[in-house]
């Protein structure tokens, strides 16, 4: 009976150790995910700025080209 209890105690200890490893692994993954999220947010903000600036430049260029065409035809 004592031997069986020792085996159960060891098995529970191994399970507890594995659960501790899983918890620490998940914490590490959460940190990496937060870091990736921050980098992705930065890239998305840069892309939005670049899109807005290029859109504004194209809009101004189109307006200038339209005005130039109007003046040359009229």
pLDDT in tens, 52-70: 999 999 999 999 999 999 9
Q: Residue 49 and residue 58: Cα distance in Å, rounded? A: 14
> Residue 13 and residue 17: Cα distance in Å, rounded?
6
> What local confidence, expressed as pLDDT, does residue 4 receive?
84
* Res. 30: pLDDT tops 90: yes
Pick from 2-11, 19-28, 57-66: least confident: 2-11
Q: What's the rounded Cα separation, in Å, for the pair 52 and 45?
A: 11
Region 24-37 average pLDDT: 94
What residue spans of the chain are helical by DSSP H? Answer: 2-73
The domain segmentation of the chain, as residue ranges, is: 1-74
Does the pLDDT value for residue 74 go beyond 80? no
Model confidence at 1: pLDDT above 90: no
């Amino acid at each position: 009976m004592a031997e069986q209890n020792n085996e159960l105690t060891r098995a529970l200890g191994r399970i507890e150790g594995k659960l501790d490893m899983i918890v620490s692994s998940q914490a590490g993954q959460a940190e990496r995910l937060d870091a990736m999220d921050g980098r992705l947010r930065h890239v998305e903000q840069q892309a939005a700025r670049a899109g807005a600036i290029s859109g504004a430049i194209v809009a101004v260029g189109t307006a200038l080209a339209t005005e130039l065409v109007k003046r040359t035809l009229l």
